[in-house]
Chain A
Amino acid sequence: MDESLQNLENELKRLRPSVPSAQLLARLDAEFAAPEIARDRSRANGAEGRLIMGPWLNWRMAAAAAAVVAFSTVVITSRQSLRHDPVAPTTELPVAVAVALPVKPAEVPVARAANLASTNDRYHPVGATSVLYDFKEDSPVARTTSTPTRRVRYRYVDTYTWKNPATNASLKWSLPRDEVRVIPASLH
């Protein structure tokens, strides 16, 4: 680069860019002041979120506990059905027909277990349904007694609902349940 261009370059470098207007600074000031409020809000939301998440986390634990209880119930029910002579259903349900059977929450051990867990979280069980969506009759079962029996597998979806009256938040939890009954068969 020749000397004249070098001089021109130096001359240009001596020029200082204009400062931004006061309006721009004011806008930036407002822009950066806003996050403080937003941050406070987000902190509050975070706290609120934690308050909300707390019960949900607890509910996960409660749900896990309830799943164990429900599974145990199914197993125990099945074993009891096998040990004692069960009562046959009075009516047979067509296959693949779903039937909603309302169940009182107090009768459901899952709900009771969850209710205990939810006492501190102010969630209360408000409903439980058990939907039979399938049943299948297995082959006749040979038993030691002389009474012929047949084994029927009922398949349900149990849904439990809890509600927090304070926040109106609700929680629904569904789980599949299989029930096997051994019932006396009448062979004609």
Chain B
Amino acid sequence: MTLFIKRPNDQGMEITHATAPWKQWFADYGPKLLLCARQWTRSLADAEDVVQEAFVRYWRHQRDLPGDPQALLITSVRRAALDLARRNSRRTAREEFADGGLDEIVAVFAPLPGEGDERRQEIEVALRRLPSEQREVLVLKIWQELTFEKIGEVLAISPNTAASRYRYALAALRKELEPLCHG
């Protein structure tokens, strides 16, 4: 997936990331960024602050930069989250960041119709129980559709480590969810 696909607009013209209005762009990709930010912050409000900071910086100063804008934005979100944690006086910066957030019980996925929503809630609960380093890899892989190589760049880990964390995360989720599925 790329965040910056060209798409035809109503007039049959193509809008690139450089010319598309930010609202359209944010409507498409803001939710994914917010989901990322939720992995590194302690509350939805903090996550939104972080997304705002990173997105504004990107849109104003970085969108014309060469390179992969998706990885740039996610890295920017992560750094903003780390900065926010540093500013927070409750704990030390490292403790805050490593804690992985999601203290606040707020849905991170859109509700699903009918019984599907129960399953969504179960998955959310299971996700919250994952170790933060596994959960962040899972989120980047599933919902940002990054390669393990890109995940490694964003998180400053090797691609192999990212891949193994991903497998551990899926296995842990399966373990959490199977009793609910089959029991």
Using a CB–CB cutoff of 8 Å, the interface residues on chain A facing chain B are 1, 4-5, 8-9, 11-13, 15-21, 23-25, 27-29, 31-32, 35
Per DSSP, chain B at the interface is helix
Indicate whether B86 reaches chain A with its CB closer than 8 angstroms: no
User: How far apart are A37's CB and chain B's nearest CB, in angstroms?
Assistant: 14
Q: Quick one: closest B residue to A21, CB to CB?
A: B48
CB atoms of B52 and A12 under 8 A apart: no
**B12-51 to A contact mask, C-beta < 8 Å, 1/0:** 0000000000110011001110110000000010001001
C-alpha gap A21/B174 in the complex (Å): 31
CB-CB under 8 A for A35 and B31, given A16-B110, A17-B109: no
Query: Does B142 reach chain A (CB closer than 8 Å)?
Result: yes
Q: Which residues of A contact B123 (CB under 8 A)?
A: 11-12, 15
Q: Is the CB of B56 within 8 A of A17?
A: no
B165 contacts the other chain (Cβ, under 8 Å)?
no
Task: Decide if B171 is an interface residue (CB 8 Å cutoff).
Answer: yes
Report the bound CA distance from A134 to B52 in whole Å. Answer: 64
Q: Are B109 and A18 in contact (CB under 8 A)?
A: yes
Q: Is A17 touching B52 in the complex (CB atoms < 8 A)?
A: no
Judged by DSSP, the binding face of A is helix
> Does B108 make an interface contact (CB < 8 A)?
yes
Answer whether residue B173 sits at the interface, using C-beta atoms and an 8 A cutoff.
yes
Return the chain B residue nearest A32 by Cβ: B22
Out of A5, A9, A17, name the residue touching B34 (CB < 8 Å): A17
- Contact call B170/A28, Cβ cutoff below 8 A: no
Contacts of A1 in B (CB 8 A): 167, 170
- Min CB–CB distance A138 → chain B (angstroms): 63
Q: Count how many chain B residues have C-beta atoms less than 8 Å from C-beta atoms of the other chain.
A: 35
**How close is B75's CB to chain A, nearest CB, in angstroms?**
18
Q: B32, A13: Cβ atoms under 8 Å? A: no
Task: Determine the distance from Cα of A13 to Cα of B112 in the docked complex, in whole angstroms.
Answer: 13
Q: Tell me whether B110 and A5 are in contact (CB under 8 A).
A: no
Is B173 a contact of A8 with CB atoms below 8 Å? yes
Residues of B within 8 A of A19 (CB): 27, 30-31, 34, 110
Cβ A17 vs Cβ B32 within 8 A: yes
Contacts A4-B174, A8-B173, A8-B174: A15 and B52 contacting too (C-beta < 8 A)? no
State whether the Cβ of B94 lies closer than 8 Å to any Cβ in chain A. Answer: no
Q: Are B52 and A31 in contact (CB under 8 A)?
A: yes
Bound CA span A31–B174, Å: 42
B157 interface contact, C-beta 8 A: no
**Known contacts A17-B110, A28-B26; is A35 also within 8 Å of B60 by CB?**
yes
Chain B residue with Cβ nearest A35: B60
- What would 21 A/B residue contacts be, using CB atoms closer than 8 Å? A4-B174, A9-B170, A11-B123, A12-B123, A15-B109, A15-B112, A15-B120, A17-B109, A18-B34, A18-B108, A18-B110, A19-B30, A19-B31, A20-B30, A20-B48, A24-B34, A24-B48, A28-B52, A28-B55, A32-B22, A32-B59
